[in-house]
A = this chain, B = another copy of it.
């Protein structure tokens, strides 16, 4: 098991299309931001998720948890703080914290677990060079 890496941050502005009739960001928007925070994580460690997919490797979400504490609204700037929590031979998990940039208020926390699959949708080992990157 790898040691958790430092936190990476994704900055997002709440889109109008992400709001709902309650006047706040719909609860699925946070899940999309988590995904983009992972994209950013892979870019920052030097592993491009798009290139992984071109090699027939994917890391779909196997499990997802989110706790919603306070709403985000249209045009709000939020920061998604993301940490790699755990790396195993065939899976990995991330934790997330969504912060309202203006006030520092915590809006949500979450977790995702991912399994590594090949192009036949079969579970496989995370490629060694990806594990090496994750542990660096």
Q: Point out residues on A near B: beta carbons under 8 Å.
A: 13, 15-17, 19-24, 26-28, 31-32, 35-36, 39, 48-50, 53, 58, 60-68, 71, 73-75, 121
Contacts of A49 in B (CB 8 A): 16, 74-75
A8 → chain B closest CB, angstroms: 15
Contacts of A31 in B (CB 8 A): 27-28, 31
User: Interface majority SS on A: helix, strand, loop or mixed?
Assistant: mixed
Given the interface pairs A35-B15, A50-B74, A60-B27, the reply to whether A65 lies near B65 with Cβ below 8 Å is: yes
A58 to B27, CA, bound (A): 14
Contacts of A58 in B (CB 8 A): 22
Q: Is the CB of A48 within 8 A of B75?
A: yes
Contacts of A53 in B (CB 8 A): 21-22, 74
Contacts of A60 in B (CB 8 A): 22, 24, 27, 68, 71
Q: Can you pick out 22 interface pairs between chain A and chain B where the beta carbons lie within 8 Å of each other?
A: A13-B36, A15-B36, A15-B39, A16-B20, A16-B36, A16-B39, A17-B20, A19-B21, A21-B23, A21-B53, A22-B60, A27-B61, A28-B28, A60-B68, A62-B67, A62-B68, A63-B65, A63-B68, A64-B64, A64-B65, A64-B67, A71-B121
